[in-house]
Structure 1
Amino acid sequence: MSKVNKRKHVMNEALWDDYELPKENQSVVRVLKSKGNNLHEVSTPNGEEYLVSMPTKFRKNIWVKRGDYILVEPILEGDKVKAEIVKIMNKDSIKYYKENSLWPKEFDDGKKEENRINNGDDDDDDLFVNTNRKNINVYESDSESSDDSDSNSDSERGSSNK
């Protein structure tokens, strides 16, 4: 099978949501960080942290990032790596798990954010502030003073170029 065909099949499998409920040995975890070499550190709803491996079929085709939810299945061999990724969860599968009461309550922090937005409690404190630029809020009321500042800035530019 060519690389293109393989990638197409893997992407279809990952994106096509079959809405299959997890088996008794599978669990939903949150990705904390990537450790490299197709290993990811995850956190369970209990707060336990361990490493999971990315199966060969997903490698170089699908990426997971910090904060993503994945379905894992435990593996017996190895001490550090305790599970293997079965499925990367998307919005639809998370919604389906919540409807069937299978979503861990510890991971349900997004509900607070949705309620805050829906209620209109928008805080500007959450917005990103660029600290690399000075915040200049100078408003001039007279057109004469703006003309003076333009002539000053022109003379400054000329002196800086020399």
Structure 2
Amino acid sequence: MSKVTKRKHVMNEALWDDYELPKENQSIVKVLKSKGNNLHEITTPTGEEYLVSMPTKFRKNIWVKRGDYILVEPIAEGDKVKAEIVKIMNKDSIKYYKENNLWPKEFEDSKKENTNDDDDLFVNTNRKPVVTYESESDSDSDSPEDSDSQSDGVGDK
């Protein structure tokens, strides 16, 4: 199987367009940070923090960043690594889980829904932002009119 074909199948499996509901042993968690070696530190709705591993088939094909929500399945071996990633949640799957009342209430406040999705836009840090100031004093607006009524020296002859 070529790399492109493998990546296509892995992406489809990880993102699931069919919106399956989680099984009883699977849980929804939030990624806190990446620890390297395909390990991610997560937090559960109850506040417990531990490491989860990225399956071999997802490596170099799917990336997980801080703040993402994932579906994990517990693994028996290991003290520190307690689960393995099954699915990376996208906006559509989160919406589907909320409609079926499966979304943890503890994650409701941390992921506010925006109608204006500017959070996904790239911010160019190479340019300084343009800041405009408006003058609120009335005396500033009167002074240019007074200076216009005075002679400026052009065409007075």
TM-score by length of 2: 0.71
CA distance in 1: counterparts of 2:112 and 2:88, whole angstroms = 23
Conserved? CA contact 2:31–2:67, under 8 Å = yes
**Equivalent position of 1:40 in the other structure:** 40
Deviation at 1:17, TM superposition (A): 1.7
Identity of aligned residues (%): 81
Which consecutive segments of 4 or more residues in structure 1 shift more than 6 A? 132-136
Report the CA distance shift for 1:133/1:9 in structure 2 as closer, same or farther (over 3 A). closer
Deviations 1:10-30 (A, max 9, x none): 122234421111111000000
Structure 2 unaligned spans of 5+: 117-122, 148-157
Rg bigger for which structure? 2
- 1:50 is matched with 50
* Closer, same or farther: CA 60–44 of 1 in aligned 2, 3 Å: same
Aligned partner of 2:11: which letter? M
**In structure 1, distance between residues paired with 2:111 and 2:51:** 27
Q: CA deviation at 1:112?
A: 5.4
Larger proportion of helix: 1
- 3-state SS in 1 of match to 2:14: helix
- Aligned: 1:109 with 2:109: yes
User: Unaligned stretches of 5+ in structure 1?
Assistant: 119-127, 143-162
Displacement of 1:113 in angstroms is 5.7
Residue in structure 1 matched with residue 75 of structure 2 by the alignment: 75
Aligned to 2:90: 90
| Mapped contact 2:14–2:86 kept (Cα < 8 A) | no
